[in-house]
Chains A and B, each alone.
Chain A
């Protein structure tokens, strides 16, 4: 049984390795009408850099579905795709359900402060793998951040030199240090990544000051405009927990493209 599709799928999910499961879920009406060799329920398990397991019943169909499943996997999407009996893209003979199990998205939080503890907790609820990073060993401890998956004692920009190239659109970087000494190099390094969300905490004055320093370091206006600062939605949040909610809500709104008032685009008091 160790080679069954279910066991292999479970092992991959538990190891947080990317895996996609494709299943023929419907044919053209009457199941008996399915082209020869194909049947509802046939499956193929697809993993990057590994041999596929199983088959949908036709080599050409398998080849096309493997390619599409790898695409769905890198985008983290799940849904039905339609094909002809040999994988033809513009036909609707077969409905194949492609379910992606992408590794959890990552959130990097820079700055070992109270807001970090609250944000790491809320981010875990949303399914992030959370890394807290701060160069001060006294503050960057696992005891202070029990919800973080990893606590790194280092300068944020040095951590990004290592892990930055692996970050993508699903990932987020939150700069909570609000100390220019740490902020500026961290934000500059973060701007070089492909993260879908980059936010930086601080008052409106801190934000202006940081923007000025970033410009002095050669950051272009277009790049500055991609930073969510002051971080979070304009909710009138007061406590670290409420602020954490406003940050996570901003991440959701940015991803979904909905109009929610970011502090970046409003004026006036940040806290109610």
Chain B
């Protein structure tokens, strides 16, 4: 989260609603460690990253959803046979993200 503090602060000052996605757990090979964070504003601005670019697009969608319904939840991305067409990581790992509105 450290790298995006400046963006978060600026958006808060501007009164924008922001969703925060943080890597809380990884299994197997994951590009970013727990603590890696990405933030998305209601108007679609993005800061930070949670993978090597594999799932960021999907995280934007999930984040906007989270701003819309105010939900706080864990979202998992990874490759498995029955989800072969879902968004996955090219490295074969699985990452668990915790998403929430930055309202604290």
A residues touching B (Cβ–Cβ < 8 Å)?
4-6, 10, 13-14, 23, 25-26, 40-41, 43, 54, 78-80, 95, 97, 99-101
- Is B16 part of the binding interface, using a Cβ–Cβ cutoff of 8 Å? no
**With a CB–CB cut-off of 8 A, which chain B residues contact A10?**
5, 8-9
Q: Given the known A-B contacts A13-B5, A41-B72, are A6 and B12 also in contact in the complex, defined by CB atoms under 8 Å?
A: yes
Task: Report the Cα distance A23→B2, complex, angstroms.
Answer: 17
23 A-B residue pairs with CB within 8 Å: A5-B104, A6-B8, A6-B12, A10-B9, A13-B2, A13-B5, A23-B98, A25-B74, A25-B98, A26-B98, A40-B72, A41-B100, A78-B34, A79-B24, A79-B25, A79-B34, A80-B34, A95-B74, A97-B22, A97-B34, A100-B35, A101-B1, A101-B2
- CB-based A-B contact count at 8 angstroms: 51
* Distance (whole angstroms) from the CB of A193 to the closest CB of chain B: 26
Task: Report the Cα distance A97→B9, complex, angstroms.
Answer: 22
A40-B73, A79-B25 are known contacts; what are 19 more A-B pairs with Cβ within 8 Å? A6-B8, A10-B9, A13-B1, A13-B5, A14-B5, A23-B100, A25-B72, A25-B74, A26-B73, A26-B98, A40-B72, A41-B100, A78-B34, A80-B24, A80-B34, A95-B74, A99-B1, A99-B35, A100-B35
Q: B100 near A6 (CB under 8 angstroms)?
A: no
Q: Given the known A-B contacts A5-B104, A6-B12, are A78 and B35 also in contact in the complex, defined by CB atoms under 8 Å?
A: yes
B residues touching A (Cβ–Cβ < 8 Å)?
1-2, 5, 8-9, 12, 22, 24-25, 33-35, 72-74, 98, 100, 102, 104
**With a CB–CB cut-off of 8 A, which chain A residues contact B22?**
97, 99
**With a CB–CB cut-off of 8 A, which chain A residues contact B25?**
79-80
**With a CB–CB cut-off of 8 A, which chain B residues contact A26?**
73-74, 98
**With a CB–CB cut-off of 8 A, which chain B residues contact A14?**
5
Q: Which of B33, B74, B104 has the most CB of A within 10 A?
A: B104
Task: Report the Cα distance A54→B104, complex, angstroms.
Answer: 10
**With a CB–CB cut-off of 8 A, which chain B residues contact A5?**
104
Contact with A4, one of B33, B73, B100, B104 (Cβ below 8 angstroms): B104
Q: B104 near A97 (CB under 8 angstroms)?
A: no
**With a CB–CB cut-off of 8 A, which chain B residues contact A41?**
72, 100, 104
Q: Which of A25, A95, A100, A101 has the most CB of B within 10 A?
A: A25
Q: Which of B5, B9, B72 has the most CB of A within 10 A?
A: B72
Instruction: Give chain B's interface secondary structure class.
Output: mixed
**With a CB–CB cut-off of 8 A, which chain A residues contact B104?**
4-6, 41, 43, 54
* Distance (whole angstroms) from the CB of B2 to the closest CB of chain A: 6
Task: Report the Cα distance A40→B73, complex, angstroms.
Answer: 8
Task: Report the Cα distance A6→B100, complex, angstroms.
Answer: 13
Residue of A nearest to B33 (CB): A78
Q: A97 near B8 (CB under 8 angstroms)?
A: no
Q: Closest 3 interchain pairs by CB?
A: A41-B72, A78-B35, A25-B98
* Distance (whole angstroms) from the CB of A68 to the closest CB of chain B: 15
**With a CB–CB cut-off of 8 A, which chain A residues contact B72?**
25, 40-41
Contact with A25, one of B2, B5, B24, B35 (Cβ below 8 angstroms): B24
Residue of B nearest to A100 (CB): B35
**With a CB–CB cut-off of 8 A, which chain B residues contact A6?**
8, 12, 102, 104
Residue of A nearest to B96 (CB): A80
Task: Report the Cα distance A25→B21, complex, angstroms.
Answer: 11
